[in-house]
A and B are shown apart, each in its own frame.
Chain A
Amino acid sequence: MPSPVNMFNRVQQWATFGRQWWLFDAYGQDPFYTATYLRPYLMGKFKPIYHAMSDCGDHVVVMNSKYIAMPEDKWELIEYYHDTGYAKGRTWTPAWKLHQEDPTEIFRRTLRKKIKTNKLKTAITSRCHIYPDTDIPEDVMKNISGQIRQLIPLHKGLGDYTQEERDSFPRVLQLPKDFVAEPNNWYQPKHRLIASGMSPEEADKLIIKDPHPRTFKQQVTPRRANRSILKPARKWLDSGSPEIAPKPYDTYES
């Protein structure tokens, strides 16, 4: 049944057993959701010659891992564990702090957890090449032969809409240019209200306090995060290059 290997078929046989290099852009993506999606590429599950113990996986190059978005409040609640082996060497660092020090670590750890514990685990994890920006070395770019689609569509902020789209957007009311809106005092922090001339007693009445203030050390009842609410890492990152750095949101100023 199989055809013999001759000088016409030789390269075709190499291609079936060869390793492909895939590119993935992680801009605004959820790492937990994408790790399950990238896992079959690394294991070799999209090949008809698949076997668990035959090392038939592909390489995956991930870029823009600095601009990852995690669901809801996982930046503060998730803690990553590290032990140096010496006394007092155990540390639990929250995700936002780890992302400041090494922006590739979170993605690397989520991929590593999704892969089965096996003798091939270290070989498979060494085939994920993660870069925080679009600066990828030439040796790696030469090898890439395909791209994986993004799962989560890109979010469009206020700064991403053009002036024409804003003007053509349907409006119910058209306010005059002299209109001055009163500020929502319940939304502002206390020190700003006092600086604007309000007494502290009146400020306490206006402000709505958070009944469940969370810190990363405090125990919270475990619940499943709403994956549709994604929060990117802009709050804890320095402004990157102006071409790629996203524009700031209004709601993250506090």
Chain B
Amino acid sequence: MRLSLVSLIRAPRNAKVPSKEKLFDRLPIFRITSNFFGRRRNCWSLAMPAAQKGLVRSAWGKKVKGMYSRMLRITRLEAALHPYGQMSYESFAENLAKVNVLLNKRILADFAMLEPRTFKAIVSLAQKKQDMDGETSQKELLTRPYPSDLVLGSNYLKF
């Protein structure tokens, strides 16, 4: 058995350790599999394909992350617009663009979660533009003065 730093860190005293040249090539992949399950963590013939699959899946996930976060923000904005007369997200975005407000979805969704009063100001802007163009439906006009969120209603929307 040859002495090396790696053999001291990874293996016990009487273990069979591969040569230094082999370890040098294989260490970066064992670092990827350091938190995997079972023999895929430490055995080379199982760790190599497991690491390759993990890298492929993470690359796929980076593409999908943008799509998924976009979908999530739209659902959250639709939810935040519900007490303001059951307004649809389409009309909200359309009227904001007409008024030259170019805020992106990330910031609008964060406002809806964390700063509801600025979000109310933005929504009232879009509502006024919609009323001026005459595109509000009768359903929205009837449901606007009765917001559905009543637990937070007294201090949340009436100010």
Contact = CB atoms under 8 A, between A and B. Distances in A.
A15 interface: yes
A39 to B, nearest CB: 13
Interface centre among A2, A3, A46, A145 (most CB of B within 10 A): A46
B72 A51 contact: yes
A2 B79 contact: no
Nearest to A49: B113
A45 to B, nearest CB: 6
A15 B152 contact: yes
Contacts of A145: 150-151
A145 B72 CA distance: 27
A45 B113 contact: no
A24 to B, nearest CB: 13
B81 to A, nearest CB: 9
A42 to B, nearest CB: 14
Interface string B101-122: 0000000011011110000000
B82 interface: yes
A146 B148 contact: yes
A146 B82 CA distance: 15
A246 interface: no
Interface string A36-57: 0000000001111111000000
Contacts of B80: 48
A1 interface: yes
Nearest to B155: A12
Interface in B82-114: 82, 109-110, 112-114
A2 B118 CA distance: 12
A236 B120 CA distance: 50
A2 B75 CA distance: 21
Interface of B: 72, 75-80, 82, 109-110, 112-115, 148-152, 155
Given A48-B77, A49-B76, A146-B151, 17 more contacts: A1-B110, A1-B115, A12-B155, A15-B151, A45-B78, A45-B79, A46-B79, A46-B82, A47-B79, A48-B112, A48-B113, A50-B72, A50-B75, A50-B76, A145-B150, A146-B148, A146-B150
